[in-house]
Amino acid sequence: MTQAQQNKNRTPRSVEKREQEERNQDWTPANLLPDPHPKDGIKFKWVRVSSMGEADPTNYSKKIREGWQPVDIEEVPELAHLVIDPNPRFEGKLEVGGLLLCKMPERMVNQRNNHYLKQSQDHQASVDNNLMKESNPRMPMDKPANSSRVTFGRG
């Protein structure tokens, strides 16, 4: 056998090396609602459009009014394999198990979160003020503590 014939019958070294370098993939449970790859300035959220087979237009309408917009499948090609419904209610959008993938600019999400944070702080302050109204100078109440403390190792 000549050198040329031996070279022809040999497996290229790059193929041999590639097989050796392949990593064994570990099994992980399937994620029911996979997250799309992050995009600068955009936040994603799964919005309920139906529950137990019944449409939920009230929730969907509220989220649209808040500023959430349905995401086109072309915007998230990594999730395009999830579209298996032959009769989708939202053509060209990504719906999984009654949840529709929506997006909103990060700036608006931060404004929305700050609004609800302020609202909950105002509610808590109102409850605390209502409680302190009942305080009597002869037996004053302590101001409510809205924090918790965790300690370890003290029997």
Model confidence at 1: pLDDT above 60: no
CA distances from 77 to 35, 93, 96, 98, 126 (A): 12, 11, 15, 20, 47
Mean pLDDT of 32-54: 89
| Contact present, 124 and 133 (Cβ < 8 Å) | no
- Work out the average pLDDT over 106-120: 94
| 19 — pLDDT class (breaks 50, 70, 90) | low
What is the per-residue pLDDT across 59-85, written as a single tens digit (0 to 9) for each? 999 999 999 999 998 898 888 887 766
- What percent of the chain has pLDDT above 90? 32
> In the prediction, which pLDDT does 41 show?
94
Long-range contact pairs involving 53-58 (C-beta distance under 8 Å, separation at least 24): 53/98, 55/89, 56/98
Can you give the three-state secondary structure of 34-86, one letter per residue? Answer: CCCCCECCEEEEEEECEECCEECHHHHHHHHHHCCEECEHHHCHHHHHHCCCC
Q: What angle do CA 61, 93, 84 make, to 5 degrees?
A: 125
User: What pLDDT does residue 43 have?
Assistant: 95
Q: Which residues of 74-104 are buried (b: 16+ CB within 10 A; e: fewer)?
A: ebbeebeebeeeeeeeeeebbbbebbbbbbb
